[in-house]
Structure 1
Amino acid sequence: MIPEIEQAPIAEIKAFQEGKLKELLTYLNTNSEYYKRLFRQHNISINDINTLEDLATIPTTSKEDLQKYNDDFICVPKHKIIDYVTTSGTLGKPVTFALTDNDLERLAYNEAISFACAGVQQNDVLQLMTTMDRCFMAGLAYFLGVRKLGAGIIRVGNGIPELQWDSIFKFKPTYLIAVPSFLLKLIEYANLHGIDINNSGIKGAICIGESLREQDFLPNTLAEKIKKSWNIELYSTYASTEMNTAFTECEHQKGGHHHPELIIIEILNDDENPVNDGDVGELTITTIGVEAMPLLRFKTGDMVKAHYDGCECGRNTVRLGPVIGRKKQMVKYKGTTLYPPAMNNILNDFNEVENYIIEISHNTIGTDEILIKIATQVPTETLLQNIKDHFRAKLRVTPKIEFHDKKEIQQLQFPKLSRKPIMVVDKRVF
């Protein structure tokens, strides 16, 4: 189930996207109060935008713009809106996104081809381990995509390992949709209760929210820990509410594939110019086919590297490597530039670490400080020193590390109304 456009020559893909871009600009210039105002303020004639390169003449859109002018992005009358979702608000005030019936159909198509990219077929059954309520787009998208693909789905929701295993044995799913670190909790529960996980019928897991790969696509520590106990395939995905689109690994597991019929991507540097091939930059997206709230040159805040060489699966589309980090969470610490995912990978090396939270702040002279609060059943000086040594070996610096009560860290990770754990608390004032 590979869409024809994804196997087309690069030049054909580009021409296809340029046609879709012209349609989008006309639509925005007719229906979007925000973009009509933007075009007018910057004296932009949409007739002058004919190529993907011409996008550079249009100012980017930020998360702050969405927060400030949320309703101005809506392009349809209220009676056409049939669903509302909100962003998680990880780095600020949540944003509301409206969806029409056509948008939900697009969302279903996106997830269907993404699941198919990871090898899921019509005769498979997937167990959904994320929430569908609380205005969360991801759970709804997975359900719609599985339904569109024609496969079966079990909507268990997040958490509760005992319930997850009961459902696995009762309904016999072949794939799981889960946050990777939760798979470790399933493994831990299985070991405590004599469950033979490798005879459970699970072939693979579609993983969300956490990276599974290093930048060279080799498994990271988290993936290795899962695979050491559970002989299943792990497929990494990357998506966001703003994109309405997913980048999912194929069977070769060398980056998430771009769907050119759904989204235009740019990788930009700090000056908002395209980075050189192979360099890291901020993913900036333009959505195709979105009816209620399309976005033009939206800066996602995610730092990524694109890969342009052809994939063995037959797709000619760009592939995105693992997200290196959130641009706003970049830390300059003792002469080294860090992103929280690099610290996550080090902490995942230690089985003794039960949970943790990373706090970033400014010290009295205005430079960045890092404090990592760790919960463990063995709070020894030896463990503390081993973790510090590991940081020094891998990242060349050692942040401040403290042992804290597990419940205290859980309260920090799950503040009121949170839909997913918060692993980074940024206290810096810019």
Structure 2
Amino acid sequence: MALRQQLAYLAHNSPYYQRQFREQHINVADIRTVADLARLPFTTKDDLQRHNWDFLCVPRNQVAEYSSTSGTLGEPVIIGLTKNDLARLYRNEYLSFGCADGGADDVYQLMLTLDRQFMAGIAYYGGLLELGAGIIRVGPGNLAAQLANIQQLQPTALVAVPSFISNLLAFAQEQNINLNDSSIRKIVCIGESIRQEDFQLNALAQKITGQWPNVQLYSTYASTEKQTAFTECGQGQGGHHQPELIVFEIVNEGGQLLKAGETGELVITNLGVEGMPLLRYKTGDLCAYYDAPCACGRTTRRLGPIVGRKQQLIKYKGTTLYPQTIFNVLNSFAEIAAYVVEASRSALGTDELTVTVAFRSEDWVEAPARLRQALQAGLRVLPTLLVAPLPAVLARQQADGKRKPSVFIDRR
């Protein structure tokens, strides 16, 4: 019912989809089930970038909030949300934090931006208000302030990018503070993967839990276009689907639907969105879904870890790999304070790969050699490895005024 309502809404209100339906002779009344969606064309990131405002289904005076994508894979896209969309967004995060074992007795420290048109920040804030939890809005960065608030206000949970938690642990160690003695019991991890394809913790997550065994990590996956999150429960076996808010498909290169456990591209259709709903939107993210009932008691399908993005595939010296594979090697080195992976194009049109790292101490003279060995073993090829001072690497991560650090820069 919700899908049919969203299709009728698009046919009546969306300039972009009205044009698509007309040109391709589509009658949305014929689309009655999720399986019928296969009869409709995909929407791509390029479509959204080139026709951004044609996706808006309401007059501008009904847009309550303007959010934008981060621009990781091209020009940022503006997403307009109505008041009802914001309420839906908060509901989504209320359900997500509840799935991640959150409750009204928790106090969450938000280690992320709530400005710069960042949809996730306002979504987390609204969802936690609906949950009835306490909120500490510290924002990104500023390790000293983060640590001071943990000590003074005693939050029970953090919402943060995992690599930032790794930096917080290093800073706390420098200050002779043991975070295992703190009030923190769980961390909702955003923006970066914490699991391998088999759901085991990856190197970054193992680094965190190795130093901070008292915390439970929860993975969450979302994007501005989805306006919906897939969040883990305590079982850590994938992000739970919220079927009343979104429809998803996993497709192969030919666009055919894949079965449970098969890796392909995630395609989403929003439900209940008024401002800029998307129909069969190809996210570019590669993953699999699982439909066996979860041990937590939920029976919804679950999304497995994101293994890569189609546009970020690197073909280097006869080997194909995604940046996450490189991140997993780099994150296994406690000596590395920061890194940037850069893909570029050679004069011959082939992919080039450079990894720039900053070490926590200049005394670790053996680290570069061990890192080269690990990269060769983990990737089967050896990228160009550069060592730079920490400020230079951090500055490169924040290049072009991006609102969050970029550990992968694609110049191809």
Q: Calculate the TM-score normalised by the size of structure 1.
A: 0.93
Task: Confirm or deny: 8 A CA contact 1:85 1:97 kept in the other structure.
Answer: yes
Q: 2:292 matched to 1:306?
A: no
Aligned match of 1:20: 2
User: Do residues 77 (structure 1) and 59 (structure 2) align?
Assistant: yes
Q: Match for residue 174 of structure 1?
A: 156
Q: Is contact 1:33-1:73 (8 Å) kept?
A: yes
User: In the alignment, what sits opposite 2:393?
Assistant: 409
Say yes or no: does 1:98 pair with 2:80: yes
Cα deviation, residue 200, structure 1: 1.1
For residues 378 and 210 of structure 1, the distance between their equivalents in structure 2, rounded to whole angstroms, comes to 28
Deviation per residue, 1:196-217 (Å, 9 max, x gap): 3112111110110111111111
Distance in 2, matches of 1:266 and 1:364, equals 38
Would you say the 8 A contact 1:379–1:403 is kept in 2?
A: no
Question: Hey, what does 1:189 align to over in structure 2?
Answer: 171
Partner of 2:245: 262
Point out the more displaced range, 352-361 or 118-127: 352-361
Is 2:232 aligned against 1:249? yes
Distance of 1:26 and 1:349 partners within structure 2: 50
Alpha-carbon contact 1:324-1:341 (below 8 Å) kept? yes
Q: What SS is found at the alignment partner of 1:240? A: coil
Matched, 1:290 2:290: no
* 1:137 maps onto 2:119 in alignment: yes
C-alpha distance in structure 2 between counterparts of 1:238 and 1:326, whole Å: 13
Residue aligning to 1:427: 411
Q: What does the per-residue CA deviation read over 1:122-156, in whole Å, with 9 as the maximum and x for residues that have no partner?
A: 11111111010111111100000000111111111
Give the length in aligned residue pairs.
410
Task: Please say if 1:229 is aligned against 2:211.
Answer: yes
**Quick check: 2:207–2:334 contact (8 Å CA) kept in 1?**
no
How far apart, in 1, do the equivalents of 2:223 and 2:191 lie? 10
Matched residue, 1:157 = 139
Partner of 1:400: 384
Query: How big is the shift at 1:384?
Result: 2.6
CA contact (8 A) 1:118 1:249 kept: yes
Write the distance in 1 (CA, Å) between the matches of 2:90 and 2:336. 38
Paired residue secondary structure (1:54): helix
Return the TM-score normalized by structure 2.
0.97
Give the equivalent residue in structure 1 for 2:370.
Answer: 386
Q: Which runs of 5+ in 1 are unaligned?
A: 1-18
CA distance in 1, matches of 2:356, 2:23: 47
Alpha-carbon separation, structure 1, partners of 2:63 and 2:347: 49
Q: Contact between 2:269 and 2:279, CA under 8 Å: does it hold in 1?
A: yes
| SS state at 2:64 partner | strand
Moved more, 293-302 or 390-399: 390-399
CA distance in 2: counterparts of 1:276 and 1:191, whole angstroms: 46
Deviation, 1:306, is 1.2
Whole-angstrom CA distance in 1 between matches of 2:349 and 2:332: 31
Q: Deviations over 1:287-326 (max 9, x none)?
A: 0011111100011111111112110111111111111111
| CA RMSD, Structure 1 to Structure 2 (Å) | 1.4
Q: Tell me the distance in 1 between the aligned counterparts of 2:364 and 2:236.
A: 38
Q: In structure 2, how many angstroms separate the alpha carbons of the residues matched to 1:209 and 1:384?
A: 27
Deviations 1:10-43 (A, max 9, x none): xxxxxxxxx2111111000000000000101111
> Shift in Å at residue 382 of structure 1?
3.9
Write the deviation string for residues 337-380 of structure 1: whole angstroms up to 9, x where unpaired. 20001100100111222211111122233222211112223387
Contact 2:100–2:233 (CA<8 Å) still a contact in 1?
yes
1:60–1:296 Cα contact (<8 Å) kept: yes
Runs of at least 5 residues in structure 2 that lack an aligned partner in the other structure: none
- Give the aligned partner of residue 110 of structure 2: 128
The whole-number CA distance in structure 2 between the counterparts of 1:223 and 1:103 is: 33
Q: Write the letter of the residue equivalent to 1:81.
A: V
Give the superposition deviation at 1:331.
1.0
For residues 194 and 375 of structure 1, do their structure 2 counterparts lie closer, same or farther at Cα, with a shift above 3 Å needed? closer
Task: Say whether residues 1:273 and 2:246 are aligned partners.
Answer: no
Query: Residues of 1 paired with 2:281 and 2:363: CA distance?
Result: 44
1:162-182 CA distance string (max 9 Å, x none):
111111122211000111111
The AA in structure 2 aligned to 1:149 is L
Amino acid at match of 2:229: A
Q: Which runs of 4+ in 1 moved over 3 A?
A: 377-382
Cα deviation, 1:36-88, whole Å, max 9, x if unaligned, reads 00101111111221221211111111111111111111111122111111110
Q: Which moved more, 1:352-361 or 1:24-33?
A: 352-361
- Are residue 88 (structure 1) and residue 70 (structure 2) matched? yes
Tell me which moved more, 215-224 or 27-36: 215-224
Report the alpha carbon displacement of residue 383 of structure 1 after superposing the two structures with TM.
Answer: 2.7
Aligned equivalent of 1:118: 100
Matched letter for residue 425 of structure 1 = I
CA-to-aligned-CA distance 1:189-235 (integer Å, 9 cap, x gap): 21121223112111110110111111111111111111111120010
Q: Per the alignment, in what secondary structure is the counterpart of residue 245 of structure 1?
A: coil
